[in-house]
Amino acid sequence: MRRNRSTKIVATLGPASGTPEVIGALFDAGVDVFRLNFSHGTHDEHRVRYDVIRAIEQERKRPIGILVDLQGPKLRVGTFADGKIMLKAGQGFRLDLTDKPGDETRAPLPHPEIFEAISPGTDLLLDDGRIRLRVEKVRGKVAETLVITGGPLSNRKGVNVPNAVLPVSALTDKDRRDLRFGLDIGADWIALSFVQRPEDVAEARKLIEGRAAVMVKLEKPQAIERLQEILDLTDAVMVARGDLGVEMPPEDVPGLQKRIVRACRVAGKPVVVATQMLESMVQSPAPTRAEASDVATAVYDGADAVMLSAETAAGAYPREAVEIMNRIIAKVEQDPLYRPIMDAEHSQPEHTAADAISAAAAQVSQTIGAAAICTFTTSGSTTLRAARERPTSPILGLTAHVGTARRLAVLWGVHWVLTRDIRSFSDMVERARKLAVQEGFARSGDRIVITAGVPFGTPGSTNTLRIAWVE
């Protein structure tokens, strides 16, 4: 089950992809990590999908990552007496905390935290940005607004407050229940929605207690302003472009995507580019050329993974979406321009012995034309450092810990193999040779580069580099 590409694929499961047959077909088509979206579905449905993934993992003998994506707070207007109203640009419109159904002049907004955060001049975006209101006055729990962009507005449409930090936790009561469930079934990643500040990440990490890795979804402008602080606390990042595109001008999102990917590569943290990548394939068996270019851009930028959402969760062509994404990635990575672009974005290694070894392994492997870089790892840090260098040789991640392999299935360029702990240098070299051949990376006469930490089995102690001939 070796992939012919380095960039990984994350796919969301849902009504269109909940059966063992479809999940198996998605994995065979190229999925490396499955996303369970807790904005939809019941715990029982997610448990069944989890069990199916683990059964496929056993059958295919290849570690598969599972990402539990928490919903986060959902801010919505209340209801209207007639179910729907029409707002016109230039009219006044009141928002308040009363329970009375709304009409053409006012609407209930059952979120006191919004009234605490807004002030005159604040913009409110309703219904995914289709309606824009500008706050003119705030009196207690009443806000007088001016309609800047009008249109129809119906019951319980979403509200975004792009230019204010809301006094609300990123974890609702529902999220806490979902988090406990996700950890209990054995999720590898927990994705956090609605992150506004580093404290949101710290709160989640305290609850998770190391039982899963943390992936922050960057979807709020406030989080971008504190990107480096958040990067220091998280294990990975998802660029949630759909939500960013609501709260920021659409022309800002492409450059921001590049900035985030670049920052993650410098920090050595996996980064996933997500949302609307092949959106037309929800109904169509083929993507638009613009969508293919969008996927390609993320690959050229050096993202660790690209993600499918509705395309595989609710679309009519889930398997085809994965197959096409797989083909686009493979084609880009074979492009003669791909390597120069990747090298141009390469960052300097950190000033540590482990990073020096990893940088040297990438350089040595390119100089001698190594068939593979074999990394022995316990926690995954050795392999993370190897992937950060974006080497020209494929990376063979060798570990005795299935949890490490599952968690880092999202990592660029790594093919994971489960093997027992090594006991000596000779054991290390012999095992690397054998597995490189067994997994189809090397043949007799090839050379491989091996990195590990001594004492063996000590997390984070990468300090050894060996070159070995395959016999």
175-230, pLDDT tens digit by residue? 999 999 999 999 999 999 999 999 999 999 999 999 999 999 999 999 999 999 99
User: Is position 28 within any domain?
Assistant: yes
Of residues 320 and 345, more confidence is placed in 320
Q: Whole-model pTM above 0.85? A: yes
pLDDT at position 49 is 98
User: Is position 45 within any domain?
Assistant: yes
- Answer yes or no: do 185 and 308 share one domain: yes
357-387, pLDDT tens digit by residue? 999 999 999 999 999 999 999 999 999 999 9
Mean pLDDT score of the chain, rounded to an integer? 95
Domain-ending residue, one of 301, 334, 367: 334
User: Is position 416 within any domain?
Assistant: yes
> Rounded distance, CA 5 to CA 81, Å?
54
> Rounded distance, CA 362 to CA 116, Å?
52
CA distances from 16 to 26, 30, 71, 311, 398 (A): 11, 17, 20, 9, 34
CA distances from 118 to 143, 367, 448 (A): 9, 58, 59
72-96, pLDDT tens digit by residue? 999 999 999 999 999 999 999 999 9
Tokens standing for residue 32: 């490396």
Average pLDDT over residues 42-64: 97
pLDDT at position 430 is 95
> Rounded distance, CA 366 to CA 362, Å?
6
Phi, psi of 91 (to 5 degrees): -85, 160
pLDDT at position 104 is 96
SS (H, E, C) 326-393: HHHHHHHHHCCCHHHHHHHCCCCCCCCHHHHHHHHHHHHHHHHCCCEEEEECCCCHHHHHHHHCCCCC
- Answer yes or no: do 194 and 319 share one domain: yes
Domain containing residue 209: CATH number = 3.20.20.60
Contacts of 379 (CB under 8 A, 6+ apart): 401, 404, 459, 460
CA distances from 375 to 1, 136, 265, 394, 456 (A): 19, 59, 19, 11, 12
Phi, psi of 150 (to 5 degrees): -95, -175
Average pLDDT over residues 8-24: 97
- Answer yes or no: do 296 and 361 share one domain: no
Domain containing residue 394: CATH number = 3.40.1380.20
- Answer yes or no: do 120 and 228 share one domain: no
User: Is position 347 within any domain?
Assistant: no
Domain containing residue 153: CATH number = 2.40.33.10
pLDDT at position 44 is 97
Confidence check: pLDDT of 459 > 80: no
pLDDT at position 339 is 94
pLDDT at position 471 is 85
- Containing structural domain, residue 415: 353-469
Confidence check: pLDDT of 455 > 90: no
- Answer yes or no: do 140 and 209 share one domain: no
Average pLDDT over residues 409-415: 97
Confidence check: pLDDT of 350 > 90: no
Confidence check: pLDDT of 1 > 80: no
Domain-ending residue, one of 334, 368, 398: 334
User: Is position 55 within any domain?
Assistant: yes
- Answer yes or no: do 156 and 177 share one domain: no
- Answer yes or no: do 279 and 140 share one domain: no
User: Is position 435 within any domain?
Assistant: yes
CA distances from 190 to 37, 196, 433 (A): 11, 17, 35
pLDDT at position 343 is 87
The C-alpha R_g of the chain, in whole angstroms, comes to: 24
- Answer yes or no: do 89 and 144 share one domain: yes
> Rounded distance, CA 362 to CA 350, Å?
14
The catalytic residue positions are 35, 76, 217, 275
Share of the chain above pLDDT 70, in %: 100
DSSP-derived letter for residue 237 is: E
Phi, psi of 273 (to 5 degrees): -95, 125
Amino acid letter for position 310: A
CA-based nearest residue to 272, from 199, 319, 216: 216
- Answer yes or no: do 370 and 282 share one domain: no
Average pLDDT over residues 420-434: 92
- Answer yes or no: do 111 and 32 share one domain: no
Number of structural domains in the chain: 3
User: Is position 2 within any domain?
Assistant: no
- Answer yes or no: do 184 and 309 share one domain: yes
Amino acid letter for position 290: A
User: Is position 386 within any domain?
Assistant: yes
Confidence check: pLDDT of 247 > 90: no
Tokens standing for residue 265: 């590569």
> Rounded distance, CA 389 to CA 412, Å?
10
Confidence check: pLDDT of 354 > 90: no
The residue written with tokens 């984070």 in the block is 460
Domain-ending residue, one of 160, 191, 226: 160
CA-based nearest residue to 217, from 193, 245, 197, 251: 193
- Answer yes or no: do 206 and 264 share one domain: yes
Strand, helix or coil for residue 150: coil
